[in-house]
Structure 1
Amino acid sequence: MPEYWEVAKDYLINSDALLGNIIKKYSYAKLVSHKNPFITLVKSILGQQISVKVADILYQRLLIICQTNINPENIYLCKDTSLQQIGLSRQKINYLKNIAIFFLDSPHRLENNYFLNNDANIIYDELIEIKGIGPWTIDMFLIFHCLKPDILPLKDIGLINSIKNNYNISNLSATDLNHKIIELSKNWKPWRTVATFYLWCDIDDNVVQY
């Protein structure tokens, strides 16, 4: 759990009564990082546009074919047919291979502090060059690997649905909804990561952990 977690919770409880009630309801839930940048990106790719439950199943299958050692070399060497057999699309297979190459080309990126010591914008500029990595995946990386405290993943469907349900704004157009979320989130700064996490909890108590 990040060092800032409890401070952030107290701040959010006082700054947004509705969000505060959600935080109190799920106060037991904590953000966890396994500190492996490659695994975080792999899990984020697996989780693109599917449920948490299905993504977990795919990850467990991937663990089996990698003999419990999911690393860049094993993913790169894994046959595409084997990856297809566990339910991965051709597109996601290509994305996983691209991530593997990214780390194989520069193994120092696997060091614990390589990304942690960098600003979010620098990390974004580096990761966006990988084909298959977009803003949503980078947001997940910044939240779950880097533990950045103030990330608002505007393209995350779980967050969007939770905000729509809790703040009664489901009738807005996509553009107006985006603006409304940005406006609401001003009350959550500088702890929008924590706000996002507990809003996820309210939409699905089996919160993803990338």
Structure 2
Amino acid sequence: MIWHEVNDVIVITLPEGFDMNANLGYLSREKNECMYEIESDIITKVITLGGIRSLVQISVISNKQMVVQFLNNSRPIEKWQREEIVTYIHEWFDLDNDLTPFYEMAKADSLLKMPAKKFYGLRVIGIPDLFEALCWGVLGQQINLAFAYSLKRQFVERFGDFIEWNGKKYWVFPSYERIAELTPADLADIKMTVKKSEYIIGIAKLMARGELSRGRLMKMSFKDAEKSLIKIRGIGPWTANYVLMRCLRFQTAFPIDDVGLINSIKIVHNMNRKPTKDEILELSIPWKNWESYATFYLWRVLY
């Protein structure tokens, strides 16, 4: 991680081949997003680490440097705390990953050639907080994306916290500690199924008891982490792989049954039917160790 500070502003050196416009294109795909705001290519977001909440504005200069400004007197005093914010941003944008081998592979791949060229510079945008990633995975099960975003907003505004600045609220995702104390009846106002409410509360309780944590999962192999997640009520292979991909950063994570992935393959290959699972497995052989990036780039074709 290469970064320095200039007059209370953090400046992060970006890797070769990073393109902010490609990433903003992904981040601004849904107007109902409640965890950050994008205006004039500047992201405003609350970053919560331990008990410290910082409201930051993130902008990029010539795709070479990412500038992080603190708003509302929320700059952490200690350098190690600011370093944690840099780490969070690195994880969010997957900045430590060299994508050169992915692009080399994609050039020769019938499915990835077009999206890799068109969206060059896009990273797999992460969800560094495990509870948020798991909730988002559960909320998104078997519904369209717009409705999933609506549920997330309801959940966050009902149980989350916020920092107010310039007359606007910038939200903090609800903590697992808070959700662990609720019953499904407390979530009845949110238009999700009772089952999803039970799953989210169950996940929060596991985390509150210390039985489930990002640190614990990160120490496991991909297969062991996948098995651990699938054992949890409400988490099937799709949700597990989604979380392994976007939070735990396993590049081999592959939500093969994902509807978006299936539809994008159909579009790119100009098929008049959906590809079968066997066909997808065959097509994905060259993606070895880059399955998560291949999936993310193919999703990007859809919007």
Alignment match, 2:146: 53
Which of structures 1 and 2 has the bigger CA Rg? Answer: 2
Mapping of residues 1-210 of structure 1, within 5 Å: 1-2=93-94, 3-68=96-161, 69-106=173-210, 109-110=212-213, 112-171=214-273, 177-204=276-303
Question: Quick one: structure 1 residues 36 and 87, their matched pair in 2 at CA, closer, same or farther if it must change by over 3 Å?
Answer: same
Distance 1:29 1:84 in 2: 38
Q: Tell me the residue number matched to 2:13.
A: none
Percent of aligned positions with the same letter in both sequences? 28
Name the structure where helix makes up a greater proportion of residues. 1
Structure 2: runs of 5 or more not aligned: 1-92, 162-172
In structure 2, relative to structure 1, the CA distance for the partners of 1:117 and 1:72 (3 Å cut) is same
In 2, distance between residues paired with 1:20 and 1:201? 13
Q: Distance in 2 between matches of 1:29 and 1:53?
A: 22
Shift of 1:99: 0.7
Residues 72 and 104 in structure 1, CA contact (< 8 A), matched pair in contact too: yes
Q: 1:162-192: per-residue Cα shift (whole Å, max 9, x none)?
A: 11221234436xxx71111000001211211
Count of aligned pairs: 199
Hey, what's the Cα distance between the residues in 2 that align with 1:124 and 1:150?
11
- Select between 143-152 and 162-171 the one with higher mean Cα deviation: 162-171
Q: CA RMSD in A?
A: 2.0
CA contact (8 A) 1:40 1:145 kept: yes
Query: Cα distance 1:118–1:85, how it changes in 2: closer, same or farther (>3 A)?
Result: same
Contact kept? 1:139, 1:152, Cα under 8 Å:
yes
Q: Is the 8 A contact 1:149 1:191 kept in 2?
A: yes
- Aligned residue for 2:301, secondary structure, equals helix
TM-score when scaled to structure 2?
Answer: 0.61
More strand by share: 2
Structure 1 ranges of 4+ moved more than 4 A: none
